[in-house]
Structure 1
Amino acid sequence: MLERSLVVSAPGKVILHGEHAVVHGKVALAVALDLRTFLRLRPGGGGSVTVRLPGVGVEASWDTPRLRALRSGCPGPPPPRPGTAAVRRGPSVEQLDTLREFAGITAESSAPESLATLAFLYMCLAISAKYGDVPSVDIIVWSELPTGAGLGSSAAYSVCLAAALLTACGAIACPLAEGESTARWTEEELSLINSWAFQGERVIHGNPSGVDNAVGTWGMCVFAEMSLVASRVPTLRILLTNTKVPRSTKVLVAGVKDKILKFPAIMNPVLDSINAISQECQSVLEAMPGNPSPEYYPVLEELFDINQHHLNVMGVGHPSLDRLCHVTASHGLHSKLTGAGGGGCGITLLRPDTSPLAVEAAKRDLCACGFECWETNIGAPGVTLHSSSSLKADVLHALSMS
């Protein structure tokens, strides 16, 4: 059992290229976003498990004997197979119903706080059932990621939980050495973290693709034909803009499918073109150094523009996203939607030589549209173990809440 505190973090994600086309067997590039979820775990001495999620209003504590009595009904997943998106077997309906009753969560509730609590209970019990006793721990989670924006916030939470609980139960090492600010796990340990994080995603989403938790674990991933491959991407500056326009991913995916069935001779070439865009972008990114010079950016910008037009043709654009692209173009910047479309979020590429004044002016104009805007990076590392000295002041403050 773990004898010292630990802090882990995992990134959110954006789809750089390939959204919707990936549903039809094409390549998608999913990239880690440098907005992160942080989890602090402290060993407890009181024979209880406490979890606090201030972002969704959860504060709960259970005695470890009560949890031990529950965990026989929560077997874990089989060992992960290298190169696969996720393990096959997940929590059963009966297991989740038992945990809902235990936590006082109604069967109809799909509120974020209910699902986050349910995922925590399942992962805590299933991991401890496989690797040892229920650990007596105090956990607090704080996130820079907005929820419900398609940025992988639930996966970042699940990845952090998996890494922390596996470490607490001794299933993986605690690799942070004395004097180090950050550390990462071995490839085998990352695969185990990913397989358990996928179980948390299954509790929350039912039938996730496995992309979000893989990005949270490894960073950039290439996803095609139900296979995930971790890859590298240089750090790129972006503006991330949330239009705050709600959308239904299910409805948008169904609309694209209907359009393909109605106009196959028109839409299939569009899907092929998006696939080629993803592959071309992947080639450019893999050729770029860690701190790329401006010469690489014209191709990336043109790919953004072409793909945004394709996504509009597919019917997943929205006037709010058109406005976002128009505003940023007026400042010489290139944007596209990311994720399901129909509103939601867009990303804007920033060159290394982009004027800070242009960036600030673009942010000001986007906020004037009623949007929420962050200047951040893509190409962030996956799940990471931190020393307290490596944390930013706001993160340290949030995780120091008593």
Structure 2
Amino acid sequence: MVAMWERGLAVSAPGKVIVHGEHAVVHGKVALAVALDLRTFLRLRPGAEGRVRVCLPGVGVQRSWDTPELRALRGRIAADFEESKSPSLEQLDALREFAGIAAGASGPDSLATLAFLYMCLAISAKYGDVPSVDIVVWSELPTGAGLGSSAAYAVCLAAALLMVCGAISCPLQEGESTARWTEEELTVINNWAFQGERVIHGNPSGVDNAVGTWGGALRYQAGKITPLRRVPTLRILLTNTKVPRSTKVLVAGVKEKILKFPAIMNPVLDSIDAISQECQSVLEEMPANPSPEYYPVLEEFFDINQHHLNVLGVGHPSLDRLCQVTASHGLHSKLTGAGGGGCAITLLPPDTSPLAVEAAKQDLCACGFECWETKIGAPGVTLHSLSSLNTQVLHVLSQS
């Protein structure tokens, strides 16, 4: 195993979007989350002897530590390291002090550093010595947009550190460009990635890291996560309105509306739940590369759910504008995530002309939005040979 990764390898994990069920899921309804083929990449190489280095150019982190000082820190706080046990406040305080992170600091640089240190020490405590590694992580995902960027980071870290410590195999054979781990190994990766998410978010649902680990699509209801039997790869536009919003405030607003008008709002939640379940049935019936006739029903689900989300009070003028722009090109959109701005997804049926897609993208960018043409239903965490990565990813990783 060591021989393979000594030449350098890369790990990638996808982001996620909610297709249907946002907000309703808070009230016990079904949500469908799918893997987004915008990915986070981690390059793994042996570090200088006795050194651990981590570089995250996207959030301005470049840190390195001596392995003896990490071992000493691990010895002081290692009592409760376990893949099923939340990081303790004492452990996190000790890590903050060690890394010089101010109490209460919640910027992506501080949280990413904290998650790295916790996962490095916890995984090495369970499976071996603190490894001398050089890790660079770069993402195609914007941070703070509800697209699972922190979970993709945690999944990549878990896979890389577990592999270096010998807890999981290095499945990439000589001459192969990509490989994936066994189901049992993916479960271990997911468990540790969830701990990384707990460091960053406190009390996450576990959906984002599960999507990052397994890919495809997952059904989530009342804490239970179930992978869909199979899911087609669908082309979409993902658009970030760049309008900031507070998920906490939006969730509280929906709750208030339900308490105020239960006879009106509960049927809306029931309808969103029905859309999620109907959509699951349609997706599981669709072939891997679906033809255009499968799309009209999915487009209707988008339209109906977008109206429901406006009724719940989580729409925004920027999202209305986005839906109008894409409708003018014959395309159907809905918000994804918390709403109130943030991101939206637009279905691209296979018979959509490239000219229409390009025109829609130009019009969306003219509104001040950021737009990506990508896919949903992407594969989960994957091991790559460095030579198989595209030029842009290789360039960023090699510059750091």
Structure 2 CA distance for partners of 1:75 and 1:396, relative to 1, 3 Å: farther
Aligned to 1:394: 392
1:298 counterpart = 2:301: no
Aligned mates of 1:230, 1:17 — CA distance in 2: 15
1:227 counterpart = 2:224: yes
**1:401 Cα deviation after fit:** 2.0
**1:233 Cα deviation after fit:** 1.5
Aligned to 1:52: 55
Aligned mates of 1:197, 1:45 — CA distance in 2: 26
Contact 1:327 1:365 in 2 (8 A): yes
**1:74 Cα deviation after fit:** 3.6
Aligned mates of 1:357, 1:278 — CA distance in 2: 31
Aligned to 1:97: 93
1:158 to 149, 154, 157: 154
**1:77 Cα deviation after fit:** 5.7
Contact 1:41 1:140 in 2 (8 A): yes
2:129 to 133, 136, 142: 133
Aligned to 1:383: 381
**SS of equivalent residue, structure 1 residue 52:** strand
Aligned mates of 2:374, 2:201 — CA distance in 1: 27
Identity %: 82
Aligned to 1:66: 69
Aligned to 2:191: 195
**1:399 Cα deviation after fit:** 1.4
Contact 1:252 1:342 in 2 (8 A): yes
**SS of equivalent residue, structure 1 residue 55:** helix
1:347 to 337, 345, 348: 345
Aligned to 1:24: 27
Q: Counterpart amino acid of 2:9?
A: L
Output aligned runs, 1:298-337, within 5 Å.
298-337=296-335
Aligned mates of 2:197, 2:271 — CA distance in 1: 31
**SS of equivalent residue, structure 1 residue 237:** strand
**1:177 Cα deviation after fit:** 1.0
Aligned mates of 1:170, 1:104 — CA distance in 2: 30
Aligned mates of 2:86, 2:210 — CA distance in 1: 16
Structure 2 CA distance for partners of 1:75 and 1:344, relative to 1, 3 Å: farther
Q: Counterpart amino acid of 2:105?
A: S
Deviations 1:71-127 (A, max 9, x none): 131456656xxxxxxx4x211111101000100000021111000000000000000
Matched pairs, number:
394
TM-score, scaled to structure 2:
0.97
Aligned mates of 1:14, 1:102 — CA distance in 2: 35
Contact 1:39 1:161 in 2 (8 A): yes
**1:387 Cα deviation after fit:** 1.3
Aligned mates of 2:373, 2:45 — CA distance in 1: 32
1:121 counterpart = 2:130: no
Aligned to 1:368: 366
**SS of equivalent residue, structure 2 residue 2:** coil
Q: Counterpart amino acid of 1:309?
A: H
Aligned mates of 1:300, 1:75 — CA distance in 2: 50
Aligned mates of 1:351, 1:161 — CA distance in 2: 35
**1:195 Cα deviation after fit:** 0.7
**1:154 Cα deviation after fit:** 0.5
> Structure 2: 5+ residue runs without aligned partners?
none
Deviations 1:233-274 (A, max 9, x none): 211000000000000000000111111111111111111111
Q: Counterpart amino acid of 1:360?
A: E
Aligned mates of 2:311, 2:81 — CA distance in 1: 41
**1:178 Cα deviation after fit:** 1.5
Q: Counterpart amino acid of 1:61?
A: S
1:171 to 167, 171, 177: 167
Aligned mates of 1:353, 1:58 — CA distance in 2: 43
Deviations 1:121-146 (A, max 9, x none): 00000000000000000000011011
Q: Counterpart amino acid of 2:2?
A: L
Aligned mates of 1:210, 1:74 — CA distance in 2: 24
TM-score, scaled to structure 1:
0.96
Aligned mates of 2:81, 2:305 — CA distance in 1: 38
Aligned to 1:82: none
> Structure 1: 5+ residue runs without aligned partners?
80-86
